[in-house]
Amino acid sequence: MVQPVLKWAGGKRQLLSEITARFPESHERYHEPFFGGGAVFFDLAPAEGSINDINRRLVNLYRVVQRQPERLVEENRTHEHSDDYYYDARDEFNRLHAIDDKTADERVREASLFIYLNRTCFNGLYRENQDGEFNVPVGNYVNPDWVQAERVRAVSEALQDTAIHNDDFEYVREAASAGDLVYFDPPYQPVSTTADFNDYHAEGFDRDDQRRLRDLAVDLDEAGVRVVLSNSPPVAELYEEYDSFEVEIVQATRAINSDGDNRGEVAEVIITNVPADERRRRELSEFTD
């Protein structure tokens, strides 16, 4: 089992047993079009397949981890633990984001700043404003570990035979074929006007995107691809008319939230076209930050 490098709001560590119990006992390649922190991928450790995220900072991080783990660890060791340094690092992170054609050193630096900020920002959140700037304030940590040397090396090894994309999620229409498994963990449909998990990326993810994702899942099902999808309860109705998809409600623990009163158990739905008699069964994996 590989431990993720990042803390990630909406990460699936607390739901791993529920999600992977709905995976098929065997499959060909594995694809994850909304990668985020990658808890499911790293728990599964697939032999080959693809990952994707629309957040190009995140994709740059995983490409650097995949190709230059030791250079990244070396860069991680250069950071300091102070509020002033944090805000200088955040400004530099945003300046680098504005550069379209980065040098190799700039890509490593941006990846390293990502890990540093993730491990020292308030509650491990990732949030962008409408201008695409990371804007989370500093957190209150005594001795945070932003070097993450062993995790970086383990994640690098796990990603060696994985294609890393920075595309719209529909890339998987061409990438997946019959017998493959696709796990979708999109930005969730808010359950109320005050609940919004979409601001990890400035462009957001609206109801029309949820319908587009549903249409893609239906097309993949017809092509013989196994599909598992997690989301919030309001999305369930989009799949209920399709007999090949089973919709189940489960309880998940939310440890990362900007509002401490909203942490705790919340209802989620898991949607799959994997028949019950083809599913694997397993125990909950133990993850630590």
User: Are 1-54+167-289 and 55-140+148-162 equal in CATH topology?
Assistant: no
Give CA angle at 280 (222, 177), nearest 5°.
30
Q: What CATH number does the domain located at 55-140+148-162 have?
A: 1.10.1020.10
Q: What CATH number does the domain located at 1-54+167-289 have?
A: 3.40.50.150
285: pLDDT confidence band, cut at 50, 70 and 90? very low
Residue 278 has pLDDT above 60, yes or no: yes
Q: What is the pTM of this model?
A: 0.89
Query: Bigger pLDDT: 14 or 216?
Result: 216
Residue 94 has pLDDT above 70, yes or no: yes
